[in-house]
Chain A
Amino acid sequence: MNNKRTELKVTALENGTVIDHIPAASLFHAIRILKLDKVSNQVYFGTNLSSKKYGVKGIIKVRDRFFKNEEINKIALVAPTATLIEIKDFEVVRKVKIKTPKIVENFVKCFNPKCITNHQTVPTKFKVITDKGELKLRCHYCEKTTTKDTMEFK
């Protein structure tokens, strides 16, 4: 019954990418990071869908679009549990867990108001560090650490 309803909500893809297991609260962040609010492809998304593993989850489906690893890995910052599924002719051809990048460039803002990147046209750059299981971003310029709570996207 449940599966049937989900299918009704989210159309199956012939060709394209499904990003599954996105924490529901991060869905719109993920859409912005991948710039899916600015593409001409058909994009479907669902949020607060029930998930056995995570309680609720978000899902994104993008028709006729395949992502480069470095592109998709950007969403690891907000959705470390996400899975990438590539579909060709209605068949799953690739299914991988996304990987956390080592360096994050020019799509997150530094939380430090005195950082040079917030005053002049300097592209942001961060080293991704893990502290007690939590992802943090250490600014290449001001050396301050942006956490998930203070993270804002450009």
Chain B
Amino acid sequence: MKYKSYNMKNRSLISINDYSKGEQMHILDLAEKFEKQPRQKILDGHVIATLFFEPSTRTRLSFESAISQLGGKIIGFTDAASSSVSKGETLMDTVKTVANYSDLIVMRHPLDGSSRWASEVAGVPIINAGDGANQHPTQCLLDMYSIRKTQGSLDDIHIAFVGDLKYGRTVHSLTIALSQFHTTFHLVSPPELKLPSAVKKYIKDAGLSYYQYDDLNDVMDKVDILYMTRIQKERFADPMEYEKVKNSYILKNEMLEHSKENMRVLHPLPRVNEIEEEVDANPKAYYFQQAKNGVFVREALLASTLGLI
């Protein structure tokens, strides 16, 4: 048994750093196996709660698809209005109650740090499906999986992050995770949406390099991964600020002409207009496959957290 030394059983996953580099790689290896055989009844007899205190499409559905494909049962709610939260129940009470009915809780919540708090009071493991602007570790793992799958390795990758690098939690988590490898970072954003210095510190502390740009064309021939992000309206206190930058970074097919052969375009989705639809047919577009990979990674996480693999 190659993986015997990794034990994720009953451990919550709140932040990508909750797993060591070896454990993260272990999850990617397991996900590879689930990709070959995604339907196995290993969750038979298990109940998984999916508590979505704020709306989500991809994350919730890919978790629910993963649970269903593995034969587990799902309970939960898809927005806080349909739960007793609307009656003023605290997060602690909701989580403690639901823990009585389930073996594992997948949760998304609008407040930063909510999942960590839930993991301390629940009594069953929590998988964080996004806590406010803080962490989204399952997205991070599926991004790592997609990079490794398309490039063959996570080492010696040149990656460009494009768009909202200030508020984009997927960019923050992925930067931290990739700082464990020999990565070169190319950061493309408007000045007001630059990567926070606290996140850049991870790159510096690892002895790695980053370069900052404000023109997307400047990185096209340099990178192996082009990671596009949505500039989210809800992150701006001032709507005028959003209007100023919303159309700054739009990817078009012609821009990909001089990119490397192995280059792939990733995006955590949903997109608004930052990737033109004509790019979808380009063999370098990988974002829908990336979303599909989310199911395999989440299958790996569910199975390992429940100690079933």
* Residues of chain A having any CB pair with chain B under 8 Å: 110, 112, 114-117, 119-122, 139-145
Residues in A neighbouring B112, C-beta threshold 8 A = 112, 114-116, 141-144
Closest to B113 in A: A141
Residue among A116, A121, A122, A140 facing the most chain B CB atoms (10 A cut-off): A116
Whether A120 lies near B91 (C-beta < 8 A) is: yes
A38→B91 CA distance, assembly (Å): 32
A120→B114 CA distance, assembly (Å): 10
A6→B92 CA distance, assembly (Å): 53
Residues in B neighbouring A120, C-beta threshold 8 A = 90-92, 117
Whether B111 lies near A115 (C-beta < 8 A) is: yes
A120→B112 CA distance, assembly (Å): 12
Residue among B91, B92, B110, B117 facing the most chain A CB atoms (10 A cut-off): B117
A-B contact pairs, 15 of them (CB 8 A): A110-B113, A114-B133, A115-B112, A116-B113, A116-B114, A119-B111, A122-B92, A122-B117, A141-B113, A141-B114, A141-B117, A142-B113, A142-B134, A143-B113, A144-B112
Q: How far is the CB of B147 from chain A (nearest CB, A)?
A: 23
Q: How far is the CB of B1 from chain A (nearest CB, A)?
A: 34
A141→B133 CA distance, assembly (Å): 12
Residues in B neighbouring A140, C-beta threshold 8 A = 113, 116
A148→B136 CA distance, assembly (Å): 28
User: Which B110-124 residues sit within 8 Å CB-CB of chain A?
Assistant: 110-114, 116-117
Check: B135 CB closer than 8 A to any chain A CB: yes
Main secondary structure of the interface of A (DSSP, over half): loop
Check: B290 CB closer than 8 A to any chain A CB: no
Closest to B118 in A: A116
Whether B117 lies near A145 (C-beta < 8 A) is: no
A117→B90 CA distance, assembly (Å): 12
Residue among B90, B92, B112 facing the most chain A CB atoms (10 A cut-off): B112
* Residues of chain B having any CB pair with chain A under 8 Å: 15, 90-92, 110-114, 116-117, 131-135, 198
Residues in A neighbouring B91, C-beta threshold 8 A = 116, 120
Contacts A143-B15, A145-B198 known; A117 to B92 CB distance under 8 Å?
Answer: no
A108→B94 CA distance, assembly (Å): 26
Closest to B111 in A: A116
Closest to A131 in B: B201
A141→B276 CA distance, assembly (Å): 38
Whether B92 lies near A115 (C-beta < 8 A) is: no
A140→B15 CA distance, assembly (Å): 11
Excluding A140-B113, A140-B116, A141-B112, 12 further A-B contacts by CB distance (< 8 Å) are A116-B112, A116-B114, A117-B113, A120-B90, A121-B90, A139-B113, A141-B113, A141-B116, A142-B131, A143-B112, A143-B113, A144-B134
Q: How far is the CB of B115 from chain A (nearest CB, A)?
A: 9
Q: How far is the CB of A54 from chain B (nearest CB, A)?
A: 30
Residues in A neighbouring B116, C-beta threshold 8 A = 116, 140-141
Closest to B93 in A: A120
Q: How far is the CB of B203 from chain A (nearest CB, A)?
A: 15
Q: How far is the CB of A143 from chain B (nearest CB, A)?
A: 6
A116→B109 CA distance, assembly (Å): 10
Closest to B133 in A: A114
Residues in B neighbouring A141, C-beta threshold 8 A = 112-114, 116-117
What are the 5 tightest A-B residue pairs by CB atom distance, in nearest-first order? A141-B113, A142-B112, A142-B113, A116-B113, A116-B114
Q: How far is the CB of B70 from chain A (nearest CB, A)?
A: 30
Q: How far is the CB of A84 from chain B (nearest CB, A)?
A: 33
Partner of A115, one of B15, B113, B198: B113
Residues in A neighbouring B111, C-beta threshold 8 A = 114-116, 119
Residues in A neighbouring B117, C-beta threshold 8 A = 116, 120, 122, 141
Residue among B92, B134, B198 facing the most chain A CB atoms (10 A cut-off): B134
Residues in A neighbouring B135, C-beta threshold 8 A = 143
Q: How far is the CB of B96 from chain A (nearest CB, A)?
A: 13
Whether B134 lies near A143 (C-beta < 8 A) is: yes
Closest to B116 in A: A141
A120→B113 CA distance, assembly (Å): 11
Residues in A neighbouring B113, C-beta threshold 8 A = 110, 115-117, 122, 139-143
Whether B132 lies near A114 (C-beta < 8 A) is: yes
Whether A142 lies near B198 (C-beta < 8 A) is: no
A122→B131 CA distance, assembly (Å): 15
A117→B92 CA distance, assembly (Å): 12
